[in-house]
Structure 1
Amino acid sequence: MKIAYFDCFAGIAGDMIVGAFLDAGLPFDRLEQELKKLNLTGWQISAQKIKKHGITGTKFSVKVYHHHCRHHHHRNLQDIEDIIRHSDFDEPIKETALKIFQRLAIAEAKVHGTSINEIHFHEVGAEDSIIDIVAAAIGFHHLKIDKVMASPLTTGTGFVKCAHGTIPVPAPATVELLHGVPYRHGDIAEEMVTPTGAAVLTSLCSEYRTMPEIITQAVGYGAGDRELPIPNLLRVHIGEISHASQREQVWVIEASIDDMNPEFISAATEQLLASGALDVYVSQVLMKKGRPGLVIHVLTPGDIREQLGQILLQHTTTIGYRYYPVWRQVLHREKVSVNTAYGSVTVKVAMEGEKIMNIAPEYRQCLELAKTHKVPLKQVYNMALKEYYSKKTD
């Protein structure tokens, strides 16, 4: 699995993301050729090496020539979707760019109390911002990144001027985009996380945490415009997670309950798992005053901890929960599809380096096939194992 880990020590912006991808190996000529598929005129891109506090990074810039086109600041979501859909990009690039703009439209609409179809983009509707977002999508796919991870963000403080007037930092749209993302304001009175940067990152990123063990293939630095007390750079590490067992930090959420219908436990557990919990289990305990009760334990990534905590409050009778960080060691896992006489089954394979440690066909798939063909579950399960070993030796 190819990982891109964004180290956001100075925040994140759209041009910084593109600059980091260029610095990490995205060819400038390839990016320029791809962007011509947008069918927008009157723009030119450039990239140059600059230094921030002695560290060299790539500054990506977009220059717009047709000043009479500035009314396009007021494009709505439909306008931008039409531009992207009528472009000549490959479908994955179109889908990624559309996902980013749709996410941004939802945030802007909520802030301004309107619908996503009525919201008009201002700064983000201009040619330079469209190019920033589309260029980020191009870089993501050209570098063949499978998963994006990022550090917690520092947003900055103070105020910034925009088309609506003077607004606080982080901008309201940025705050909406960062729901569920760990961030802090910090001490620098500048806008360090822009709406464009937040929209791109939160559309691509699946996990916010300290950097995992990565076998690095490239490191890139994308430079921002301003001079800050710290290096105004976004660092991206691109590489692969080793097939060895991985140590990662997660969180445990717990709630003690002694007054709930036991039938509700299953529904709460299913809701937690469907919402991204890594594991959910229940322990029986003896509570105060000698009453029998139970504890629901939820294992979760840090970025959705609050979301899962809310599910506990909504779907159980607990009036509070506790949480704490833990470390877990996990084997590398792969999924292999095998064809049996009853149908296709996914086989999960756990590995330590190149050594196979455990193999397990997907239980629910085997169960459904067993019901459909009216045969014992173990018959489908064992056939899936047999087909996996047969496929492996071919």
Structure 2
Amino acid sequence: MKTLFIDCNRGAAGDMITAALLQLCINKQQMLDKLNKLLPNLVIEEEILEREGIIGAHLRVVIAGEEEKSYDEVEASEYNFFENKGFVKEERIDQMTIMISNLAISNEVKKQAIEIYLEIKNAEAKVHGCRMEEIHNSRLGSLDAVVDIVSVCVLLESLAITEVVSTPINLGGGFVRCGQWTVPVPAPATAQIVKTMPTYMSDNPGELCTPTGAAIIKHITTRYQNNQPMRNQNGYGLGAKEYHPPGYVKVSL
């Protein structure tokens, strides 16, 4: 049995989990090359950063020339992006699940990735009081989520992980922008996803846990444990936003 320990005491986001797992790979560049082939016009670049004594990796994810953004930033900027790029502005759930099914990845990874993606869409549908089929997200936002989800699933398979032990998730505190509105942390979709998960709030303002991060942890975790053992192989994944103290995910083998 190969156990992966995930420390979510400084949050959980898809890009942070991906960046942390990448640090455990023997050949990071080979894995990055593999991830970059998941979708056309996808570029994932690794940056090693230091934030308040934590040295970790941050991933720049660029799709068709546009860098991955947080949920609120995508909502605020999607109109101009899609008008300028000539993309279809909205993407239906069935289109995204079909796209995942057609990726050059194993059937097990496809199944796991689709389950995680539908977890997010189901949460959004419940928040909006509609059916999942009625949820139409921006194409950029949907692709961002798919890249994070599939990347994590591919990395777990590559590392041959058989058990995942996670800490309770620090959700953060304060308020977050969701489109045109400002709402308390956790954001509505995140709150829906973590209903049955061990979580806690903190005094530090900011959204430390995203819907994608919550859905990934929910589906890959075998069990939760507050105190995790020391391990020789560790990886830190830093988020795009700079908080004090910093947001990151730590993984250990």
Q: Aligning the two structures, in what range does the TM-score lie when normalised by the shorter sequence?
A: 0.7 to 0.9
Which residue does the alignment assign to 2:181?
Answer: 165
Question: TM-score, structure 1 length as denominator?
Answer: 0.56
Structure 2: runs of 5+ lacking an equivalent: 67-80
Please say if residues 26 and 139 of structure 1, whose CA atoms lie closer than 8 Å, have aligned partners that are also in contact: no
Partner of residue 233 from structure 2, selected from 189, 194, 218:
218
> Match of 1:352?
none
Give 1:222's aligned amino acid. Answer: G
User: Could you say if the C-alpha distance between residues 95 and 70 of structure 1 is closer, same or farther in structure 2, counting changes exceeding 3 Å?
Assistant: farther
Contact 2:177 2:183 in 1 (8 A): yes
The AA in structure 2 aligned to 1:235 is: K
Q: Is the 8 A contact 1:169 1:191 kept in 2?
A: yes
Deviations 1:296-327 (A, max 9, x none): xxxxxxxxxxxxxxxxxxxxxxxxxxxxxxxx
Check if 1:237 corresponds to 2:252.
yes
Contact 2:117 2:146 in 1 (8 A): no
Q: Larger relative contact order (C-alpha < 8 A, sep ≥ 6)?
A: 2
CA deviations on 1:144-192 (whole Å, 9 max, x unpaired) are 1111111111111222223353332101110111022111111011000
Equivalent residue, structure 2, for 1:3: 3
Q: Kindly state the Cα deviation for residue 70 of structure 1 after the two structures are TM-superposed.
A: 7.9
CA contact (8 A) 2:178 2:187 kept: no
Query: 1:16-95, aligned counterparts within 5 Å?
Result: 16-25=16-25, 27-38=27-38, 40-64=39-63, 65=65, 67-68=81-82, 74-95=90-111
> How many angstroms apart in 1 are the aligned matches of 2:138 and 2:5?
30
Residue 227 of structure 1: aligned partner: 242
Q: Which moved more, 1:92-101 or 1:223-232?
A: 223-232
- Mapped partners of 1:71, 1:178: distance in 2: 32
Tell me by how many angstroms 1:72 deviates.
Answer: 5.3
Quote how far apart the aligned CAs of 1:123 are. Answer: 7.8
CA-to-aligned-CA distance 1:205-263 (integer Å, 9 cap, x gap): 1212223557x35111001122222232211112xxxxxxxxxxxxxxxxxxxxxxxxx
- 2:130 maps to 1:131: no
Moved more, 95-104 or 205-214: 205-214
* Alpha-carbon distance between aligned partners in 2 of 1:143 and 1:127, rounded to the nearest angstrom: 24
AA partner of residue 18 (structure 2)? V
Q: Secondary structure at the match of 1:178?
A: helix
Give the 3 Å change call, closer, same or farther, for CA 184–70 of structure 1 in structure 2: farther
User: Are the equivalent residues in 1 in contact too, given 2:5–2:166 (CA < 8 A)?
Assistant: yes
State the Cα deviation string for residues 5-64 of structure 1 (Å, max 9, x = none): 1111211111000110012226433333433553x3333110011011122101112013
* Higher alpha-carbon deviation: 136-145 or 64-73: 64-73
Structure 1 residues 205 and 236: CA distance shift in structure 2, 3 A = same
2:111 counterpart of 1:112: no
Instruction: Provide TM-score, normalisation by structure 2.
Output: 0.84
Structure 2 vs 1, CA of residues 173 and 27 (structure 1 numbering), >3 Å: closer, same or farther?
Answer: farther
Aligned to 2:70: none
**Matched position secondary structure for 2:172:** coil
Contact 1:58 / 1:223 at 8 angstroms: preserved in 2? Answer: yes
CA deviation after TM superposition for structure 1 residue 124, in Å: 7.3
Q: Deviations over 1:84-131 (max 9, x none)?
A: 111221112111111110111111111111112221234874433321
Aligned pairs for 1:287-298 (under 5 A) are none
Moved more, 227-236 or 92-101: 227-236
Corresponding residue for residue 335 of structure 1: none
Distance in 2 separating the partners of 1:37 and 1:229: 35
- Give 1:176-215 correspondences, 5 Å limit: 176-213=192-229
Higher strand share: 1
Report the structure number with the largest CA radius of gyration.
Answer: 1
- Give secondary structure in 2 for the equivalent of 1:117: helix
Q: Identical aligned pairs, as a percentage?
A: 31
Measured in 1, the distance between the counterparts of 2:168 and 2:252 equals 15
Look up the match of 2:75.
none
Q: Tell me the C-alpha RMSD between the 2 structures.
A: 2.2
For residues 32 and 91 of structure 1, the distance between their equivalents in structure 2, rounded to whole angstroms, comes to: 20
Aligned to 1:146: 162
**Inter-CA distance 164–144: structure 2 relative to 1 (3 Å threshold):** farther
